[in-house]
Amino acid sequence: MAEHFVWMTTRRIRPDTLADFERSWRPDPYPDGLRHAYAYWSEDGTEVVGVSFWDSKEACDAWRTSAAEAHRRAAMAPYVVEEHEAFYRGRELAVPAHHR
């Protein structure tokens, strides 16, 4: 099975700021080595989980230390109350077809 390189961020944001937060979240330029990115939010819109899949840990680290990422994080800062981040390695779990 293929190994995946994943960066996950959980942010608690100020109430009623999800739309503004999402506008500031979009990366520009789009990071090299980023394969997929997903955002999931709580029902009340005050917690957002970002999951990004990378070609390698090095590609993720290069983005995390880039000026573009620093700019993006500064744009999100007014909406963020709390933040937790971590890098993971893993693989897809095989789910039997009859359970899908």
Report d(CA 25, CA 42) in Å as an integer. 16
Tell me the percentage of the chain whose pLDDT exceeds 90. Answer: 78
The reported pLDDT for the residue numbered 93 is 86
Predicted confidence (pLDDT) at residue 1 exceeds the cutoff of 80: no
Predicted confidence (pLDDT) at residue 99 exceeds the cutoff of 90: no
Task: Output the pTM of the full model.
Answer: 0.85
